[in-house]
Amino acid sequence: MGADLNQRARWRVLPPVPDEYLDACALPRLLAQLLHNRGVKPDEIEPFLAADYRLEGDPFLLPDISEAVNRVYRAVLRREKIAVYGDFDVDGVTAVVILARGLEKLGGDVIVYIPDRFTEGHGLNTPAIEALYAQGADLIITADCGVTDVAQVRRAQELGMDAIVTDHHVPLEELPRAVAVVDPKRRDSAYPCSDLAGAGVVFKFMQALFHRDSRERWLAGLLDLVALATVTDLSPMVGENRYLVKEGLKVLNKSRRPGIRAMIEVAGVKAGALNSDHISWVLGPRLNAAGRMNYASTSYRLLTTQSAAEARLLALELEEKNAERQKLSNEVLCRAREKLAGKLHLPLLMEADESYSIGVIGPVAGKLVDEFYKPVVVVSIGPEQCQGSCRSIAEFDMVLALEECGDLLSAFGGHPMAAGFTVPRENLAQLEERLIGLAREQLGHLDLRPELVIDAELPLSALTGETFTLMQRLSPFGRANPSPTFLTRQVEVIECRSFANHSEWLNLKLRQDSTTWQAVDFGVSKRGSQVPSCIDIVYNLETGRWNGEDVLRLNLRDLASS
């Protein structure tokens, strides 16, 4: 084994839990430490851990919700045709399913429209609106999009159609002049949870529509879709999202949807024991693959079919598309990394090429951010218009940066850490220059390395007994409530070998005093032969497969020579 290994990230060990917090909560020290680290106040601990109905917000606190409810009931009573217009990612597709099924349950006449990523892009577009008008739509309701589409909503009105926008993205200064704009991120919103996923917003809309209706309990059966969206869209796992995902996982694990059952079976995961990680790494990517490689209707059909035979065929199709997506992502990643080699000194990395598929530039940008810890923009160049996907770091708000470049862009939107845009080809070079300038201003003085926030420094012996069970009381895990991360120093490496099918992944056997643990390293060190014999490790405690059995193991996040 080698002699030296430098840590990749800055390690920040959070301070010990104060005695007054310990006294106030009367919980085991480690659990109290984890709750304190996540900013949970003593009087919030019980509802946080229970993750029950007390975390739910009143849907009538959402902006414009009463206007939206009244307009839908008018449409149903008048037998108007209602167009449901969504997005092509997991959040958009699940939001469309929830909205369409809810409206149909009320007796609505519904048309579903999911745009094509490659020919139409995100959000409302005028040709689609005109096509829906031609089909007789009187009302358009958006799902997971629309809050920045001021001109498109205006066009719908010019044609004589009303619009209701439901979205969770950050609005611009000017809101669309729709009948209702239901978005918890509006500045005037009184809703307690501003970070609902798009499907979460739609679910709350359905709660308002079915308020005190005998069919209200039926809505609980849609929570599996809300959980899929909330986890896949990286919505913070705090507040109401905890309740929605916890309840949604219960529905998901007993799913009556033939499509979800088929997808679970084809993916080879264990039904009945699914958690948020299974959504993040197994189900979410497969549902996203349809919209990334072709057209999202495959995922929509999978989530709505009642035929077990059709469900199996669709699940197999998604499995194939996901494999294609992975292969294409790796090809684009390798090419982009190669072309960026001469730009790594810049504070923001932007890479554009005609060969880059629109469907994978987002994930590729995300992997490059993980690798270089800088904002990354990957652009697919078209004949006249180019489409870009941005992933960022906590120190750089990508939406604000795009806003400052708005005069160069045809359209843009998203979140501070993940955004997208369309830009005329002739403006591309100027856009890169301006974004790099903004990044230089904001990031030039910083030491840009990822920061690993560590919950506690522990000996390996502290992980035995009920520790894992105790930690699970904080689940479901996700953004803003990550899986607990620990640091242990002076660990002896007694065995280190590569995975059979992946040379950069390692299986390790670690020992400290008389305590031994199995561990995995999914590419942290990238140098199996150079792992020293004594290391400091940062890790999560998780369940995994070892010799055909489910066992607890350490998943290494970073390591360094002791």
Higher-confidence residue of 544 and 307: namely 307
Which residues have a Cβ under 8 Å from the Cβ of 536 and sit 6 or more positions away? 7, 487, 488, 489, 490, 491, 559, 560, 561, 562
Say if residue 527's pLDDT is above 80: no
Say if residue 5's pLDDT is above 70: no
One-letter amino acid for residue 484 of the chain: P
Say if residue 2's pLDDT is above 70: no
Residue 458: CB atoms within 10 A of its CB come to 17
Say if residue 362's pLDDT is above 50: yes
One-letter amino acid for residue 149 of the chain: D
Say how far apart CA 295 and CA 118 lie, in whole Å.
9
CB half-sphere exposure, 107, CA atoms < 13 A: 8
> What is the phi/psi pair of residue 278, to 5°?
-65, -35
* Residue 217 to residues 206, 220, 249, 436, Cα–Cα distance (Å): 11, 6, 17, 51
* Residue 25 to residues 35, 416, 456, Cα–Cα distance (Å): 10, 35, 18
Q: How far is CA 21 from the centre of its chain?
A: 32
- Mean pLDDT throughout 428-452? 92
- Mean pLDDT throughout 319-327? 90
Say how far apart CA 548 and CA 555 lie, in whole Å.
18
**Residue in the structure block whose two tokens are 């996982």:** 249
* Tens of pLDDT, residues 170-208: 898 899 999 999 999 999 999 999 999 999 999 999 999
Write out the residue limits of the CATH 3.10.310.30 domain(s) in the chain.
340-443
- What per-residue confidence (pLDDT) applies to 523? 73
Pairing of strands 162-166, 109-113: unpaired
**pLDDT class for 443, splitting at 50, 70, 90?**
very high
Which residues have a Cβ under 8 Å from the Cβ of 46 and sit 6 or more positions away? none
- What per-residue confidence (pLDDT) applies to 282? 92
Query: Which of 312-326, 478-492, 513-527 has the weakest average pLDDT?
Result: 513-527
Which residues have a Cβ under 8 Å from the Cβ of 377 and sit 6 or more positions away? 348, 349, 350, 351, 365, 388, 389, 390, 432, 435
Write out the residue limits of the CATH 2.40.50.460 domain(s) in the chain.
10-50+452-561
**pLDDT class for 525, splitting at 50, 70, 90?**
low
Pairing of strands 451-454, 10-13: parallel
- Mean pLDDT throughout 121-136? 92
pLDDT, mean over the chain:
91
Do residues 405 and 442 lie in contact, with contact meaning Cβ atoms separated by under 8 Å?
no
One-letter amino acid for residue 129 of the chain: I
Do residues 394 and 400 lie in contact, with contact meaning Cβ atoms separated by under 8 Å?
no
* Tens of pLDDT, residues 48-99: 999 999 999 999 999 999 999 999 999 999 999 999 999 888 999 999 999 9
Burial grade of 354 (CB within 10 A; 0-12, 13-18, 19 or more):
exposed
**Residue in the structure block whose two tokens are 């072709």:** 294
- What per-residue confidence (pLDDT) applies to 477? 93
Do residues 167 and 198 lie in contact, with contact meaning Cβ atoms separated by under 8 Å?
yes
Tokens of 222: 């849609």
* Tens of pLDDT, residues 275-312: 999 999 899 999 988 877 777 788 999 999 999 999 99
Tally of residues, the chain: 562
One-letter amino acid for residue 321 of the chain: K
Say if residue 1's pLDDT is above 50: no
User: CATH class for domain 59-220?
Assistant: alpha beta
**pLDDT class for 218, splitting at 50, 70, 90?**
very high
Which residues have a Cβ under 8 Å from the Cβ of 362 and sit 6 or more positions away? 378, 389, 391, 418, 420
* Residue 506 to residues 500, 554, 560, Cα–Cα distance (Å): 9, 12, 15
Do residues 284 and 228 lie in contact, with contact meaning Cβ atoms separated by under 8 Å?
yes
- Mean pLDDT throughout 222-238? 95
Q: Exposure pattern of 16-32 as b/e (b: 16+ CB <10 Å)?
A: ebeeebbeebebeebbb
- What per-residue confidence (pLDDT) applies to 6? 64
* DSSP β-bridge partners for residue 124: none
Do residues 561 and 5 lie in contact, with contact meaning Cβ atoms separated by under 8 Å?
yes
- What per-residue confidence (pLDDT) applies to 500? 66
**pLDDT class for 411, splitting at 50, 70, 90?**
confident
Do residues 252 and 282 lie in contact, with contact meaning Cβ atoms separated by under 8 Å?
no
**pLDDT class for 3, splitting at 50, 70, 90?**
very low
Do residues 332 and 357 lie in contact, with contact meaning Cβ atoms separated by under 8 Å?
yes
Write out the residue limits of the CATH 3.90.1640.30 domain(s) in the chain.
59-220
- CATH number for 340-443 (one of 1.10.287.70, 3.10.310.30, 3.30.1490.20, 3.20.20.70): it is 3.10.310.30
CATH topology of domain 10-50+452-561: OB fold (Dihydrolipoamide Acetyltransferase, E2P) (2.40.50)
Q: Determine what percent of the chain is predicted with pLDDT higher than 90.
A: 76
